[in-house]
């Protein structure tokens, strides 16, 4: 297991800094205790969802008759679309909430589960990435444990980003966040291409 590869992939896909502007917006006017409670709970719920997919994702694919090679190709394509969104700083359901979801979130009394935990943190890209990374270490529990540990680490980074979101947002601003997002988008595009190539290689080897 290439630890750096897995870590960079998770950080780029989840992109903790991209969540900061939305979090600042939906928690504006909240008390310090409520603000911190949401900052802790949202990553914890997202962690539970990601770990569930890490353990059950491959079994679900098998039950549906989907090979891991096919999922790698599909997951790579999904991550490539996500990379395009990041490069153009676009809002879509892949890496952020849609405009309708955004409007609904502003009226909800609690935004912890939706839209913070799902889909902002544990979105489609993150779920697919966790399953793909676990699939790179079949029957290798030490490597699987590394992936799970990295998921916990990245969600810890997300939690820290939310706890310090107000000063971070003042420091970076919208432009700063978009610049970082575009740089990460380039990296993600390359990672997505690698997932597709791995899937094609596995499919050809098994045919």
pLDDT at position 31 is: 85
Category of 152 on φ-ψ map: left (φ > 0), alpha (ψ -120 to 50) or beta = alpha
pLDDT at position 41 is: 96
The model's pTM? 0.83
User: How many domains, the chain?
Assistant: 1
pLDDT at position 146 is: 94
**pLDDT band of 180, cuts 50, 70, 90:** confident
Q: What is the DSSP letter of 93?
A: T
**pLDDT band of 3, cuts 50, 70, 90:** very high
Torsion over CA of 191, 57, 115 and 158, rounded to 10 degrees? Answer: -50
Nearest to 116 by CA among 23, 25, 29, 178: 23
Report, in this order, helix, strand and coil percent for the chain, each rounded to 5.
85, 0, 15
Question: What are 128-154's pLDDT values in tens digits?
Answer: 999 999 988 767 888 999 999 999 999
* For residue 102, pLDDT beyond 70: no
Lowest mean pLDDT among 81-90, 140-149, 180-189, 193-202: 81-90
- Full domain range(s) for residue 89: 3-24+31-206
Helix (H) or strand (E) holding 54: helix 32-63
pLDDT at position 42 is: 96
């Amino acid at each position: 297991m290439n630890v750096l590869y897995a870590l960079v992939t998770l950080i780029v896909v989840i992109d903790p800094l991209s969540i900061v502007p939305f979090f600042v917006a939906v928690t504006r006017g909240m008390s310090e205790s409520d603000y911190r409670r949401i900052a802790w709970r949202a990553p914890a719920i997202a962690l539970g969802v990601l770990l569930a997919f890490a353990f059950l994702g491959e079994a679900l694919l098998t039950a549906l008759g989907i090979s891991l090679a096919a999922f790698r190709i599909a997951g790579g394509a999904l991550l490539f679309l996500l990379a395009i969104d990041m490069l153009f700083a676009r809002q879509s359901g892949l890496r952020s909430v849609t405009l309708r979801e955004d409007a609904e979130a502003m009226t909800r009394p609690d935004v912890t589960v939706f839209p913070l935990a799902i889909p902002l943190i544990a979105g489609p890209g993150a779920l697919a990435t966790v399953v793909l990374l676990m699939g790179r270490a079949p029957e290798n529990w030490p490597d699987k444990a590394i992936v799970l540990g990295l998921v916990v680490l990245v969600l810890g980074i997300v939690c820290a980003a939310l706890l310090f979101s107000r000063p971070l947002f003042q420091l970076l601003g919208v432009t700063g966040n978009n610049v970082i997002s575009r740089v990460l988008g380039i990296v993600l595009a390359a990672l997505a291409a690698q997932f597709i190539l791995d899937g094609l290689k596995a499919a050809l080897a098994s045919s």
